[in-house]
Structure formats: structure tokens, C-alpha cells
Chain A
């Protein structure tokens, strides 16, 4: 167990370093992007004089490192500054949207994770049967379609008849039932998008172990196949499964901008893309850090869990 704690502390420390590197990386990338806030906000109406005035007002005419150090200084004190685009405190802009993003991610994960584990186990159990083939073919078809296309099809089937709303209007003060109803279509879209990946990994990881001697042994003992899989194969197949689940959870939090756009869902993805387009660096930085933190934490959890499931790793020299 001591190993685990040491690893945890080490990884958390490294996570902070990761965050720091990312903040530098994003700041640098934004610097490399053609155009800055002044040009982006004026768009076609940009003139040299106005661009200069905006740069002066927002301090964008200072050198790169000065701006970064300034930003870092206040960020370390918990102050993420103001949005350049609408002069609101970044923390205010992000607060609600972070909650919305987490809500949708949890909603989709609550459907997708149990579903894909179950389907994966069943597919491994009845491998090569018609059931296995059709579940696979269906899952694969659903992920071969781009997200926005899956969304359009769901809208065609479920929204045009008035069953579910095609625009997920969302605010914190709605009752939970209403929230779940309004965001059903985006959650379903995301479920279809992530299920196949997790399902197939579960199936593959289990089948991979079925030829191992200890499984053979269990089978020879006369254990029913379902129990062989859940009691013996699954625990040892958990490491890759957990990793894929973590990856997909991270995706649900950080990568759903397209779904947000189609359903007009006020999440972080849209904020990030809009802010990149406007070169609104304080917002871009803050959102990037949230995404990175979510990713680091999920990954860390996945690693800790897979270590716990593999006794050999616990005592690695």
C-alpha cells in the first residue's frame, strides 16, 4: 500500500508540473496563431489604428514573457483575470459552464459505462455468436458516423416528432427531471459515440485471457462460463478496460464541442473554441487548465485502480 501512496503523491506533483507545462504550451501556441485578440475581435473591420488602440488598452503590446509571467502570477493567487472579449471575470464565465459540462459527462457516462461493460462481457461470453456479431456491427456502425451526424439522425427520429427538444436549453435552476429530459438527446449522442470503444475493449481484454491456464483450470473445474468470466477473467482484464474508460470519460468532459454546438448546450467546449477564435487568452488558458486537470485526475485514478487490480504491479521492484 505504501507504494500506492508514494505513487499518488508523486503523480499529483507531476500533475501540477503538467498543468504548468500546458499553460506555457497553450500560451505559446496562441502566440503562434496568426492574428491576436485585437485583430480577431475587429475581424473584417480591423484598421491599423484601432488594432493599436486595443493592444494598448489590453496591454497586448507588451512582450510575450511579461504577459505570461503576469498571468502566471495572478493565476497562482487564484485570479484568472478578465475575459478580453467581454470584460467579465473568467471565473464567473467558467463556473456555470463547468457544472454543465460535468453534468452532461456524468449523464452520458452513467448510461454508457454500465452499458458497454455489460455488452462487452456478454459479447465475450457468447463470442462469435449472432448476438456478438450484431452488437459489434451495430456499435461499430454507430461510431463510424461523425458525432454531428449521429445527432442529426437522433433529432430526425426523436425531436421532429416533438418527443424530445432539439435545443438543450439548460440552466442550473431547472428541476433535475427537466434537466435530464432537456439534455437527453446530447447524452444519447455521446453514449452512442463512446460505447463502442469501451465495449470492444472489454470484449477483447476478456477474450485475450480466456486461453490462459488458470481460466482453463476454472473451466475444467466445471464453473459456469458466466462465472468464469466475471470471477476470473474480468478482474485480470481490468487494467486495459479501466484505461479505456478513463480515456472516454476525459473525452466526455473535454471533447464534446461538436455536440455542444449542435444542441446549443452551454458547455466548456464551445467556450474554448469561441475563445480560441477570438484569441481571448485568459479564457483559453483557464479552460485548457480545467481540461488538463480533469484529464490528469482521471488518468491518475485509472493508473491507481489498474495497479490495485494487479498484485504484481504493487510489488514491482
Chain B
């Protein structure tokens, strides 16, 4: 199987043509490398303390915006495809898939014999309704932009055929998005207020902002997953409270470990820290339409005035790696390894400032804990390091409330974050493509946009790599975003909990799937 030959990658065939033959094997042993771990044991109630979750969480897939909703969703739902722990794409409800030569039409074969918790059999109609929920004028789903290029969905026997308005070699990845679980359809529509799904656990009780209780789905089609008998999912938003709950044994797993004190938590007996480096990165975006950021020299000056090492050390407490001003993580397929790492260089910053015809520069950097934990502190550090380069940065702490509607993409220089996307195309077309709704820096680059479209339907692996490397260089040297650090997902669990050797890096909590992948030792 080619999958194993590419350490962090996915074979072309793996994406263009998924097959159930390798599906079953690669499901529990995604990378096929876990001989050391003991066989998973069944049983026990797993109690999870999540750093998110609020009383206004809802069951509507279009509204899931925090890790609590997402982990809860993954516990009760399945998607068409799954991102395996090693970052490759694995089949889930889709048994296999195939693309047309131009990658514009995709045929997914739907697995048979899968039932919903309610007992209803899963059919291609359910798949169509589940995807359609996010499409169309009327749709209120946050996932609307990512399914926007679907022009048509048809049922063909046990197959679902999806047509796109342009070639997209990575389309099956999109079907793994947490917004698009397969839910039962009634008259061609899903009920967004129902907890019914075909996933590993059945919901007994859901009290938003308080708790969710689930028990194992006895009819779950994956016989080698879902080892716990039941799940208690608690939102514990306060970092100290979350750690206390773990240390006093009231929960077994927590996510979002407070990085300020992680070195102390590590010393606590019976506690293990899990740190996964993936695609999550923190950004400082400059509005490329607003003066002085219209001049690339100014943008370069700012990029050189940021002390990345210090940020990783002090904000992430070492739990992360420095960024190179492009959004592609080291675990991505086409990460540009040869691109020189940008470093803190006040002299270069001054040089670029002079190139822009300036002696000094005054900026206001807006930040809030809503952007990422420690964003305000990070802004303070940037303001200090930039001072040495003759750039005065005044930090403005913005209320977390309303940050995304009032500050982000509104003010000229702001902090932001991305959970990252599993593919280069997805990341670039979401946040850097011209006219994309989330192009946060309003960056317009003709060459980049042309490459992006070409690479999307390019089928030659080597050529494609070249294109993506060039795009990373363009974003790094001409883009309007400072990307100083990639943050690890840091979780902690008690000794009682066992995890597979390889943990998914695409999202927190083992790609949101800890609940079905982990077990009690």
C-alpha cells in the first residue's frame, strides 16, 4: 500500500480512488505502525473536560463553532470520509470513491448495512440531504462556502455522484469536514435539532453548557472502535478548573492545557501530557488595502520585527514551532522544507522601512483572547521586539465578545488563528484566494491566484508540489500575514487512559475522535 511509503502524505490513488479493501485495516491502525501498544480493552466511562462549550451550543451542524460541539458531534455522527491519525484520508460512510479524469465529478459508493441510532438504515438519500443542508440561498450553515462549488448531487443506485464547477483533486477531504455529518433524512431534509446519527455513541442527555451523556452504540458498524461503555462530556471553560478536575480525578482527559503552567502539571503524579504538532497556527494580519500595508516593504519590515523564537518560548511555553509566514504546516504533504526560515532581524526591518521611504512607523495591533489564548501577551511581545526595529506598536486589547464581527477583518492589524486545513488547496483557497470570504488580509495576488486554480486540478504529483512550494514562497515574501508560530494541540490525561501510538494532528482531541479511538488501559 502506497499509504505507508509517504511519511506525512497521501498517495494520489488514496485520494482519487479510495477503497474499502484498505479501509478496514487502516481504520484502527491508520499508519499501520503500532506494534508496541497493547490491544484496546473495552469498558469504562470516559469523562472528558473540554476547554470550550457554552449554554448556547446547539445540535445544528451548521452552527458548530467550538471544540466541544465538534467532539460531541463526532461522538454521535460519521462522515463520508475520515482523516486518519497520520493525516491520510480513510473511508467512512463512503466505502470507496472515484474521480472523473478532470476531477470535476466524484462518485462515492455508500457503505451498506449502516444503521442510525433510531434503527433506520442509512441510504444515499440521507447522504444527499446531509450535504444539501449546507447548500443554497436559504442555508444558514457556516459550511456554506466550502460546499459552494458543488453544482449537483445525484443518486445512482448505492452511489452518490457529486459534480463540481471546477476540478478539485482534494474534494474527498472536504467531505471529512466536521460540519457535514451524515444524518437521517425525512422527505429529503435532515432535522438539525435531532441527535440521531450513525456514530459510535448514542446521546442519552444533552444539556448545553452543562454536560452531555452518551452510551456505546451497540449496532456500531466499526467493530474495532468505540471502546468505552459510556462518555461524559463536560465543558470546563476555566483553565484552572479544568486542570483541577483532572488532578483530583473528576475527569480523565482534558484539552487546552494552560500553557503557562503546563510544566507544573507535568510533574503531577499519574498525569500525562499529550502534545501534537499539526496545522494550527496563529496569525497577525495586515489589511493589504489599508495604508501603510499597501506597500510590501512595510509588510516585510513588520515580518522581520517579530521575534518568533521568543513567542514560541513564552506564549506556547515551547509547545509549538516557529512559523515561516505561510500557513502550511510541517505535517502537510507539500510543505516547503527548503524555504529559508525567517528570523528576527531588526536591521533588515529597518532596511525595508527605508525602502518604503520611512524612518519610523506607528501601528496599533488589536488582539483579544478570542483570537487565541495568549494573543494579547503575544501582541505585547511583538510590540517590544518591534521597538528595536524602529516600529512603535501600540497594543489594543479588544473585548472577546464580538471580536470576529467587530475587529477581525475590520481593523488594519489584528491577531487571528487558523485550526489549519488538511490540504494546501483548502487552506489557501479559504484564507488567501482573491475574493474568498475569509481572505482576512484582503490579499490580491494575480500570480498566486492563477497557480492556485491550476494546482487544484493538476494531477502530476511533482508538478503539483512545485506549484504549492511556489505559493508558499509568495505568501511568505509578498503576503500580508505574519505567521510567527504553529501551536501544538496540548491535552492531558490520567494514566488510566490509553491512546494509539499516533494521534491525529488535524484537530484537537485526536482529530476530534479521541472518544472512538482511545480506551482505558
Binding site for B on A (CB under 8 A): 33-35, 39-50, 53-54, 56-57, 83, 85-87, 93, 148, 152, 155, 159-160, 162, 165-167, 169, 261-264, 266, 270-271, 274-278, 280, 283
Contact = CB atoms under 8 A, between A and B. Distances in A.
Contacts of B405: 34-35, 39-40, 46
A54 B140 contact: yes
Contact of A53 (B140, B208, B248, B437): B140
A34 B244 contact: no
Interface of B: 49, 54-60, 63, 65, 137-145, 193, 207-211, 234-238, 240-241, 244-245, 247-251, 400-402, 404-406, 408, 416, 437-438
Nearest to B371: A44
Contacts of A56: 138
B244 A53 contact: no
Nearest to B245: A167
A166 B211 contact: no
- Where chain B touches its partner, the secondary structure class is loop
B140 A159 contact: no
A50 B249 contact: no
A148 B238 CA distance: 10
A294 B167 CA distance: 61
B406 A86 contact: no
A50 B60 CA distance: 14
Given A47-B145, A166-B250, A274 B244 contact: no
Contacts of B211: 169
A42 B65 contact: yes
Nearest to A170: B210
Nearest to B208: A86
A262 B238 contact: yes
A271 B55 contact: yes
Contact of A162 (B58, B145, B207, B249): B249
- Secondary structure class of chain A's binding surface, majority of residues: helix
Contacts of B406: 34-35
Given A86-B59, A166-B241, A47 B437 contact: yes
Closest 6 CB pairs of A and B: A35-B405, A85-B56, A86-B58, A39-B405, A47-B437, A45-B142
A233 to B, nearest CB: 44
A4 B140 CA distance: 55
Contact of B402 (A33, A275, A280): A33
Contacts of B438: 44-45, 47
Contacts of A85: 56-58, 63
Given A39-B405, A266-B209, A277-B401, A47 B144 contact: yes
Contacts of A49: 144, 437
B207 A266 contact: yes
A50 B237 contact: no
Contacts of A41: 56, 63, 65
Contacts of B145: 45, 47, 50
Given A39-B402, A264-B235, 10 more contacts: A41-B56, A41-B63, A42-B63, A45-B143, A86-B193, A155-B244, A262-B240, A262-B241, A270-B54, A275-B56
Contacts of A57: 138, 140
Contacts of A160: 244, 247-248
Contact of B248 (A35, A42, A162): A162
A165 to B, nearest CB: 6
Contacts of B209: 266, 270-271, 274
7 contacts: A42-B142, A43-B404, A44-B65, A44-B416, A50-B142, A152-B244, A271-B55
A157 B3 CA distance: 52
A54 B58 CA distance: 15
B56 A86 contact: yes
B234 A264 contact: yes
Nearest to B232: A169
Contact of B404 (A44, A152, A165): A44
Given A34-B406, A159-B248, A271-B209, A264 B236 contact: yes
A97 B237 CA distance: 18
B300 to A, nearest CB: 26
Contact of A83 (B56, B141, B408): B56
B237 A261 contact: yes
A277 B54 contact: yes
Nearest to A38: B140
A239 to B, nearest CB: 39
B432 to A, nearest CB: 15
